[in-house]
Amino acid sequence: MINLFKVHNPGTLGPLIDKLFENGMVTEGEYSDRFEKEFSEYVENENCSLVNSCTSALTLAFRLCDIQPDDEVIVTPMTCMATNEPASVFGAKLVWADIDPETGNIDPCDVKRKITPRTKAISAVHWAGQPFEIDEINKIVRDFDIKVIEDAAHALGATYNGIPIGGHSDFTCFSFQAIKHLTTADGGAICSKNHDDDQRIKSLRWFGLDRKYTAKTGKSRWEQDVTEWGYKFHMNNLNALIGLEQMKTIKSLIKSHQDNSAFFDKNINNSRVKKLKRSKNSESACWIYSLLVDNRDEFKSHMASKGVATDVVHVRNDRYSVYKKFERDDLPGTDEFCSKMMNIPVGWWLTEEDRKTVVEAVNSF
């Protein structure tokens, strides 16, 4: 079976991890500092903080948006639970915006319709690594005191208007979970447009303390005052060490995804299968490759018979019981997308023969 996902192993970790444990420097420190710097350079945003998961990154983003009980947050239903659950932690009312059924991304027109005086933030995912219409969303909120949060869990390496995803909106959150482009086993990062926001995040991710306090003052870090409560969200040296090794090949890994996607764009040719629409002003990171088919179960069985794994990956969030208390308007774009969407393998592990097998399987459906 050709895998839908695979965990990348740089093959160099064993001796490095042994040395790390011998030194006993497992918690946040030298490696997390280095990884944070390298990642910041990669996304071209110096206001970047490592955390232990994308969920933690999103939680910090909502915290900095000052979400209060009964504030409204406009969200996409078509995403992982991790995108929307952090807003619920603060007691926000989730307002479901529809998606464009041709892209899987949030629909700016529906976002505009859903804004009320209680709207505090808009949170949206870059489906499959294809950036949503960031300029349109930011233009909509320009006249309101509304923050924009990008869930870029799928989108590391994507660009919008020629600029890497990571600095277009108020906050951008990345995932380094096991099957993402860049994995640290688990982990994440949050990028901010504002330097002061980034400094506050660096404090909040570690109990509200400045971890550099001793280096700055010569005093114990525990002697400093805590002015606001925080979390234990920082990334440790072990995860950061893995991240540093992964950074050595991240450009080639993402290019492999993009090359495989381009191969599918060119060679998949089946009237029963529809490919997602591509944006001219952005470049997808191609984390997954979504197709729209009228009979998903039949398609899944057919692909399995050809040795190709497929899956929906995520399901719409508004179906979960935990969200029943939130109003659900008609979402025709979401209905259409969710009834047809299925994903095929597109990752770095595909050989030339694998790519041809996937195309032949899709075209013979």
Tell me, what DSSP letter sits at residue 313?
-
* Domains 13-247 and 251-363 belong to one CATH topology: no
Q: Name the burial class of residue 283, with classes exposed (0-12), middle (13-18) and buried (19+) by CB atoms within 10 angstroms of its CB.
A: buried
> Distance between CA atoms of 87 and 68, rounded to whole angstroms?
10
Query: Which three-class secondary structure string do you get for 264-283?
Result: HHHHCCCCCEEECCCCCCEE
List beta partners, residue 291. Answer: 275, 342
Helix (H) or strand (E) holding 204: helix 195-204
- Map out the domains of the chain as residue ranges: 13-247, 251-363
pLDDT over 90 at 162, yes or no: yes
pLDDT at 79: 96
Tokens 């097998």, residue located: 357
How many CB atoms sit inside 10 A of residue 297's CB?
9
Q: Are 259 and 252 in contact (CB under 8 A)?
A: no
The predicted model gives 122-129 an average pLDDT of: 98
- 200 pLDDT tier (thresholds 50, 70, 90): very high
Residue 108: CB atoms within 10 Å: 21
With beta carbons less than 8 A apart as the criterion, state whether 158 and 126 touch.
yes
Span 347-363, mean pLDDT? 98
- Given a cut of 90, is residue 327 above it in pLDDT? no
pLDDT class of 295 with cuts at 50, 70, 90: very high
Return d(Cα 78, Cα 159) in angstroms, integer: 21
- Which residue is listed with tokens 């990752």? 347
The Cα–Cα gap between 96 and 86 comes to: 15
Distance CA 46, CA 141 (A): 24
CA separation for the pair 35, 189 (Å, rounded): 11
Exposed, middle or buried, 295 (CB in 10 Å: 0-12/13-18/19+)? middle
The whole-number pLDDT of residue 214 equals 85
Identify which of 194, 182, 257, 256 has the alpha carbon closest to the alpha carbon of residue 48.
Answer: 194
Per-chain mean pLDDT for the chain: 96
Q: Rounded distance, CA 266 to CA 345, Å?
A: 16
Average pLDDT, stretch 136-156? 95
Q: Of 259, 320, 254, which is closest to residue 287 (Cα–Cα)?
A: 254
Q: What does the pLDDT look like over 65-111, one tens digit per residue? A: 999 998 999 999 999 999 999 999 999 999 999 999 999 999 999 99
When pLDDT is cut at 50, 70 and 90, the band that residue 328 belongs to is confident
Q: What angle do CA 337, 359, 155 make, to 5 degrees?
A: 50
pLDDT score for 186: 96
Domain 251-363: which CATH class?
alpha beta
For 2, the enclosing helix (H) or strand (E) is none
Q: What is the pTM of this model?
A: 0.96
> CATH top-level class for 13-247?
alpha beta
Q: What is the pLDDT of residue 284?
A: 98
> Under a CB-based contact definition with an 8 Å cutoff, are residues 250 and 181 in contact?
yes
Other Cβ atoms within 10 Å of 278 Cβ, number? 13
pLDDT tens, residue by residue, 235-271: 999 999 999 999 999 999 999 999 999 999 999 999 9
Tens-place pLDDT, residues 208-226 = 998 888 888 989 888 889 9
